[in-house]
Amino acid sequence: MESLADALREAASTLAEAGVPSPRVDAELLAAHLMAESVGRVRALALIGAAVPEGYGELVAERAQRVPLQHITGIAYFRGLEVAVGPGVFIPRPETEAVAQLAIDAARGISGARVADLGTGSGAIAGSIAQEVPDADVYAVELSDLALAWAERNLKPHGVTLVNGDYAAALSELNGTFDVVVSNPPYIPTDAVPRDPEVAEHDPEIALYGGSADGLRLPLAAAAAAVRLLKPGGYFVMEHAEVQAEALMRILGADPSWKTVCTHQDLTERDRATSAIRTDVL
């Protein structure tokens, strides 16, 4: 019988040939998923000559076809959450954790803060805020029925109010009552094609494309929704592409509804988020 150590080496080689960015890590994560063990435990078992788990080769072959790892395991990790994901929902990315942190920091400074996550997708941002700011009153808005089903599953344990609708008009009965609005809207330009097959072929288009040649139509719709939802002094933060930072700084900076417009960098020092404070100008 093939050993686990040999299978991990072969899997890493297969995934590397397929262009998977982190072949060894993915090989170990697939084994950990099948064995219901941690990656550390898988490494230890490989050292003592454990057998390869049944079905491992099939999962490696699937990942080599660039099916997202998270679709195979059914789980994505985001801050302190295990997020259920699969076809029909955008897989939360590590860079978005910094956007969530900005919203969390803003909400923590307000007792019983009311927070809205516009375009929640899997619910990762809203769930993180609810988990890390327990007294916050968190709402999440999602247009896609497929994504909504995943968000419902992920947010139910956290007491988040989930709304099915277009964030351009959703929560209108609560206009002017929110302390924090956060969004990771679709922002890829309509004629751009994502480089990674995992994104281009498996993330839903509704979660990717920003609805215009510059990709800014839907981000600016999120900003307009935040204007209507926030109290004066309320905080808005939104993720975007690095190349959109300058335009958003210019557009929001020229809008009297906003002040203190700031660009924020991700962990790789790319300009990936913009925040602003709501003025009292209607």
* Residue type present at position 131: Q
Closest CA to 55 of 78, 79, 30, 75: 30
Kindly name the residue from 23, 53, 92, 185 that is annotated as catalytic. Answer: 185
Query: Is 215 in contact with 209 (CB distance < 8 Å)?
Result: yes
Q: Is 10 annotated as a binding residue?
A: no
**Max Cα-Cα span within the chain:** 72
Q: Is 122 annotated as a binding residue?
A: yes
Q: Kindly report the number of other CB atoms within 10 A of residue 280's CB atom.
A: 10
Q: Is 38 annotated as a binding residue?
A: no
Q: Is 86 annotated as a binding residue?
A: no
Q: Is 62 annotated as a binding residue?
A: no
Name the residue with tokens 């080689």.
Answer: 13
Q: Is 167 annotated as a binding residue?
A: no
Q: Is 187 annotated as a binding residue?
A: yes
Residue 236 known to be catalytic: no
Q: Is 209 annotated as a binding residue?
A: no
Kindly name the residue from 23, 68, 78, 90 that is annotated as catalytic. Answer: 90
Q: Is 186 annotated as a binding residue?
A: yes
Return all residues near 224 (Cβ < 8 A) that are at least 6 apart: 168
Kindly name the residue from 23, 154, 184, 219 that is annotated as catalytic. Answer: 184
Q: Is 73 annotated as a binding residue?
A: no
Residue 78 known to be catalytic: no
Residue 90 known to be catalytic: yes
Give the whole-angstrom CA distance, residue 117 versus residue 98. Answer: 14
CA angle 165, 171, 258 (to 5 degrees): 110
HEC per residue, 86-147: CCCCCCCCCCHHHHHHHHHHHHHCCCCCEEEEECCCCCHHHHHHHHHCCCCEEEEEECCHHH
The annotation places the binding site for substrate at: 184-187
Binding residues: 119-123, 142, 184-187
Annotated binding site for S-adenosyl-L-methionine: 119-123, 142, 184
Residues involved in catalysis: 90, 184-185
